[in-house]
Every structure is written in C-alpha cells, then in structure tokens.
Amino acid sequence: MKQHRLAAAVALVSLVLAGCDSQTSVELKTPAQKASYGIGLNMGKSLAQEGMDDLDSKAVAQGIEDAVGKKEQKLKDEELVEAFAALQKRAEERMAKMSEESAAAGKKFLEENAKKAGVVTTASGLQYEVVKKADGAQPKPTDVVTVHYTGKLTNGTVFDSSVERGSPIDLPVSGVIPGWVEGLQLMHVGEKYKLYIPSELAYGAQSPSPAIPANSVLVFDLELLGIKDPAKEDAAK
C-alpha cells in the first residue's frame, strides 16, 4: 500500500467522520448524505482489511476542523509523514504475516486432502476428484467452454459462484488461472469435478480481491457444460 493511497483513504474517511462523533446519529435521507455514508462505509472496510482499525475518529475530526477553520496545524508535516510511514509499515508487516500464515495453512490442507479417497494429485500439484462422470468431448487449450462453478476458500467461504448468479459463463480454456487450464482439459463435457488448486496455480502472493487472501488454496466445484463450436458461432452472426 502506497503512502498516498493511505493518505487519500484516511482523508475520505475523515470527511465522513468530521461531521459527527461516534455517539451521534446522522441523517441519511438525501442522495448526498447516502453517498457520504457509502464512502465512509467502503473506505472503513478497506482500512480495516489493511489493519487500520484503530484510527481515532476524534483526532480525524480535529484535523478536518483545523483545516477548514484555517487554524495552525497541531503537528508538523514531518511528524505527519512519519506517522503515515509507521502505519504503512504496520500494514505491510500485517499483510506479510497473513500471507505466510495462509501459505502454511494451504500447504497443510493439501497434504491432508491428498490422503482422502478419490482425490488425485497431478504432477503440477493440482488436486481433483471426479464428482460426476460423463463421456463427452474433452476441451483443448484453444477451445472456449461453458461452465458452472462455485469458488471457495478452504474454510468453505464462497468468494464467487456462477451457480448463485444463476448463469453459466463462457471462457477460453487458456485464458484462466493455471489450475483451471489444467483441470478443464482433464474433464469431459457433462462431468463435475472438485478442484483443489494450490496458490501457485491460482493467484499466488498477489491477492486479486479482499475476498481471496494472498497465497490461498482455492476450491472449485466445476461443471463442464459444453464446448463452443466456432463454426456454429460464425454461422449465427
């Protein structure tokens, strides 16, 4: 997290906090009031995820009041830079610790999961089990397939699901994470697999969203519904 990003986030939250203290309710009637609340809510969640859950709302409000009232600031710029740097360092240390813990937990999960009946481990480290067998065609790397899926963390938390949305998706076999690229080519149309994807075959140390921590093992319930026929697609145009 860059310093200017942290500063901007704090500034946005400050705008919301400045108008009231934690014991005073605010009106949420007009579009501007509702939008203001939304900004505070979203930024507050973001800051909490980055470990910034101990900000002093009164100090934030005081900073806004001093700036708006053109009063002399109570801290020198050098002190503020140092404070932001400390928060940034703390956030980075927290994320590094979480990443290490996630990697260790993922390794342990896969080691235990590999011992379960029906679970197959490939040379790459991908684990899968066949939930429903079928005799349909198998996709190639150049194919576009139609699938239904539910993605979970190893604790069962769902982070994405075409099933819940009620709409399958089309995607290129070679255009997804490595664990899917390999898993899809093992499947036959009509089959359902459960994929257990090591972090290095998913997103690794780069978290794609707050819902998926860095170094996470991902679990997918995956159904291969069909393989697109380019000739028919072109004829339909």
Active site residues: 149, 159-160, 177, 203, 220
- Each as own residue / partner, the long-range contacts of residues 106-111 (CB below 8 Å, 24 or more positions apart, any chain) are 106/154, 106/198, 106/199, 106/215, 106/216, 106/217, 109/154, 109/196, 109/217, 110/196, 110/198, 110/217
Dist. CA 46–CA 120, nearest whole Å: 38
Reading the block at residue 201, the tokens are 């075959």
144-153 vs 158-161, strand pairing mode: antiparallel
